[in-house]
Structure 1
Amino acid sequence: MSELSKARVQPARAGAQQSRWSHLLYVAPFLFLYVTLLVYPLFAGFWLSLHKADFFGGSRFVGFENFVRLSNDKVFIGAVGNTFYFILLTVPALAIIGLGLALALNRTTRTAAFLRGVFFSSSVLSVTIVTLLWKVVFAPDGGFLANLLKAFGKAPVAFLSDANLALPAIAITTIWWCIGLPMMLFLAALQQVPRELYEAAALDNAGRWKTLWNVTLPSIRRTFALVIIIEVVLQFQLFGQAYLMTQGGPNNASRPLVLFIFEVGFTRWDVGYAVAAGQILFGLIAIAAMAQYFVARRKEAF
């Protein structure tokens, strides 16, 4: 290589190295916040879960004793089962109802715009307001459902005091409260579907159901997977509705995992035990989200 060529290469390498450092400076604030607010708390929480600790400064290393206690704790196991049951009650309903509303309201009329606002408006309410409204609906004395049952000659049902109905009642409340987000995500996806696909389906004399199955659903499959993942993560964190409507009762029938963690940590002051349960919750959320993600990717590959 000639001296002239070397002289040209050296400034180019120096410029490339300087460019890399400038790029690093741009992402440094994000990396700092990511490590500070996510990575460090994750490892610190796992380390704390290996201790017998409380809020008063006492801490003693016990290894995996907290996790062994959790595996033998019937209340914890019941809370895990309640959480999965709640997810089965809510996530499919939110996805299907949200898609149905999006299909029905994917119009440019004023009525459709008004109804979109109506269905989304519940999402902006606080959990306190939502639970107060639905406690009135489910109240066995003078509640909306009680009066409706009386009108048909049926005896009122104490939904929130029945071990078999408490969690489904909370699920209905949650679906009403959270339906706005999946509806809007599906609406955004439907508006991105090319019109040419529907025109081609019309030329082939495809009916509504055939068009839905062969054109609409394949076009929004990524959004459908996104909605499922988002709702699974959100519903794993059920807390406010169960705490305000039933406080986990009756007989632990509606106690979710987050409420169990809250009670252990802030009522019994057993912080290490609560953090260990939180680590299991994190693992369950990560496994569920990644499983759904890989299933969706595999379907797209076919």
Structure 2
Amino acid sequence: MADQLTIRETAAPAVGVRVPSANIYAPQWRNFVFVAPFLFFFTTLLIFPLFWGMWLSVHKADTFSTGRFVGLDNYVRLFHDKVFLQSVWNTFYFVLLTVPTLALIGLFLALCLNRRTRTAAVLRTLFFSSSVLSVTIVTLIWRIVYIPNVGLLSTIYGWFGATAPAFISDPSLAMIGIAIATIWWCIGLPMMLFLSALQQIPQDIYEAAALDNANRWQTLRSITLPSIKRTFILVIIIQIVLQFQLFGQAWLMTRGGPNNLTKPIVLYIYDTAFRRWDLGMGAAASEMLFVLILIAAMAQYLVTRNKGDQA
């Protein structure tokens, strides 16, 4: 009996002594299990290919072997290749055609359709529906539109006794034709991002502006545009990254022609690495594309942010 009392007294905590408890804010390594799948795919599908591409770009590599180390020879060959330089210009030209247009038209549609009506909801669905189509369907639709003499565009021009522009075969219009198809295809995402930003603006601000007799232009310039500045920057950066990766539209509509005037960098990479089997030079072109996207996106971000800070 005495032994049992002794055991109980030893096991029981003394009165007034605080028993240490587990810290709920302490890091727990088992939480790593929840992010492990993401880290695995992020590493294997992004990080590893990035460094593998850097390694290939400094080697003479083909499909069957990595070959020998050649240093910067692939980059030197790249900048002496007139087709690559033409593809760089084509890509920048395409980005200049599409990115500002997508941002401005997306903002215009968002401003027009920011209404709580059934008509606005139907139109939002209609404009966004093109974004869910695959690039194959989009190019098929626009090839039908651009068919000479019998296409939709030729039919409309024929009603007025005019000749439709040859957007696929004319060297000066081919890239513009691809840009028009791309804008039609991608306009849904900028519109929805701007709509989301517009709906986050408190209505009290607009009511106060109305009491001060502010017109629509003053409200747009002083309230709406400053409130969605960050969204505008986001849309520009997203579209720069996306449009620099032009491939499917150019490949399916023009095959990069005529005379390589619609061949973007990604299509050049495809031709070099998988049709000419020069993986080293293709990897070098891929790294140059990565650098160009990074520079363009960061430059746009810094310029827009500095303008916003000065304003």
**Shared fold per TM-score greater than 0.5:** yes
Map of 1:57 onto structure 2: 65
Q: Tell which deviates more after alignment, 236-245 or 198-207.
A: 198-207
Q: Tell which deviates more after alignment, 49-58 or 217-226.
A: 49-58
Q: Is 1:82 aligned to residue 90 of structure 2?
A: yes
Q: Tell which deviates more after alignment, 16-25 or 142-151.
A: 16-25
1:50: Cα distance to partner? Answer: 0.5
Q: Give the Cα–Cα distance (whole angstroms) in 2 for the partners of residues 199 and 16 of structure 1.
A: 46
Map of 1:4 onto structure 2: none
Map of 1:154 onto structure 2: 162
Residue identity (%): 63
Q: Give the Cα–Cα distance (whole angstroms) in 2 for the partners of residues 284 and 16 of structure 1.
A: 46
Equivalent position to 1:136, from 122, 138, 144? 144
1:99: Cα distance to partner? Answer: 0.5
Q: Give the Cα–Cα distance (whole angstroms) in 1 for the partners of residues 137 and 39 of structure 2.
A: 37
Q: Give the Cα–Cα distance (whole angstroms) in 2 for the partners of residues 118 and 295 of structure 1.
A: 34
The DSSP-based 3-state class of the residue aligned with 1:52 is coil
Where structure 2 has 5 or more consecutive residues not aligned to the other structure, the ranges are 1-16
Q: Is 1:266 aligned to residue 277 of structure 2?
A: no
Listed as ranges, the matches of 1:47-126 within 5 Å are 47-126=55-134
1:43: Cα distance to partner? Answer: 1.2
Read off the aligned partner of 2:166 and give its amino acid letter. A
Map of 1:284 onto structure 2: 292
The CA RMSD over aligned residues, in Å, is: 2.1
1:301: Cα distance to partner? Answer: 2.9
Read off the aligned partner of 1:116 and give its amino acid letter. R
Do the aligned residues in 2 keep the contact of 1:232 with 1:289 (CA within 8 Å)?
Answer: yes
Larger Rg: 2
Q: Give the Cα–Cα distance (whole angstroms) in 2 for the partners of residues 293 and 22 of structure 1.
A: 38
Do the aligned residues in 1 keep the contact of 2:56 with 2:66 (CA within 8 Å)?
Answer: no
Listed as ranges, the matches of 1:164-243 within 5 Å are 164-243=172-251
The DSSP-based 3-state class of the residue aligned with 1:249 is coil
Q: Tell which deviates more after alignment, 291-300 or 158-167.
A: 291-300
Q: Give the Cα–Cα distance (whole angstroms) in 2 for the partners of residues 236 and 88 of structure 1.
A: 10
1:196: Cα distance to partner? Answer: 1.1
The DSSP-based 3-state class of the residue aligned with 2:60 is strand
Read off the aligned partner of 1:164 and give its amino acid letter. S
Q: Give the Cα–Cα distance (whole angstroms) in 1 for the partners of residues 100 and 302 of structure 2.
A: 18
The DSSP-based 3-state class of the residue aligned with 1:62 is coil
Read off the aligned partner of 1:144 and give its amino acid letter. L
Total equivalences in the alignment: 294
Equivalent position to 1:36, from 41, 44, 62? 44
1:266: Cα distance to partner? Answer: 1.1
Do the aligned residues in 1 keep the contact of 2:59 with 2:66 (CA within 8 Å)?
Answer: no
Do the aligned residues in 1 keep the contact of 2:57 with 2:280 (CA within 8 Å)?
Answer: yes
Q: Give the Cα–Cα distance (whole angstroms) in 1 for the partners of residues 124 and 24 of structure 2.
A: 51
Read off the aligned partner of 1:119 and give its amino acid letter. F
1:136: Cα distance to partner? Answer: 1.1
1:92: Cα distance to partner? Answer: 0.5
Task: Check 1:105–1:17 CA distance in 2 against 1; reply closer, same or farther (3 A cut).
Answer: closer
1:141: Cα distance to partner? Answer: 2.4
| Structure with greater helix percent | 1
Do the aligned residues in 1 keep the contact of 2:113 with 2:120 (CA within 8 Å)?
Answer: yes
Where structure 1 has 5 or more consecutive residues not aligned to the other structure, the ranges are 1-6
